[in-house]
Amino acid sequence: MKILVTGGLGFIGSHTVVELQNEGYEVVIIDNLSNSSVEVLDGITAITGTKPYFEKLDLKIKGDVQSFFKKHNDIAGVIHFAASKAVGESVNNPLMYYENNINTLVYVLQEMKQLNSQNFIFSSSCTVYGQADELPITENAPVKLAESPYGNTKQIGEEIIKDTCKVNKNFNSIALRYFNPIGAHPSTKIGELPIGVPQNLVPFITQTAIGMREQLLVFGGDYPTRDGTCIRDYIHVVDLAKAHVVALQRLLSGKNNSNFEFFNLGTGKGSSVLEAIKSFESVWGKKLNYKVVGRRSGDVISAYADTNKVNNVLGWKTKLTLDDAMESAWKWEQKIRNK
**Catalytic residue numbers, as ranges:** 150
Element (H, E) at 180: strand 180-182
Q: For helices 62-71 and 104-112, what crossing angle results, to 10°?
A: 30
Asked if 193 contacts 267 with a C-beta cutoff of 8 angstroms, the reply is no
Other Cβ atoms within 10 Å of 37 Cβ, number:
15
CA–CA separation, 261 and 192 (whole Å): 28
CA–CA separation, 128 and 171 (whole Å): 22
Q: How far is CA 204 from CA 66, 148, 196, 201, 262, in A?
A: 38, 21, 11, 5, 30
Element (H, E) at 326: helix 322-337
Asked if 286 contacts 327 with a C-beta cutoff of 8 angstroms, the reply is no
| Alpha helices in 36-148, H assignment, sequence order | 40-48, 62-71, 87-92, 94-98, 104-112
Residue 271, SS3 per DSSP? strand
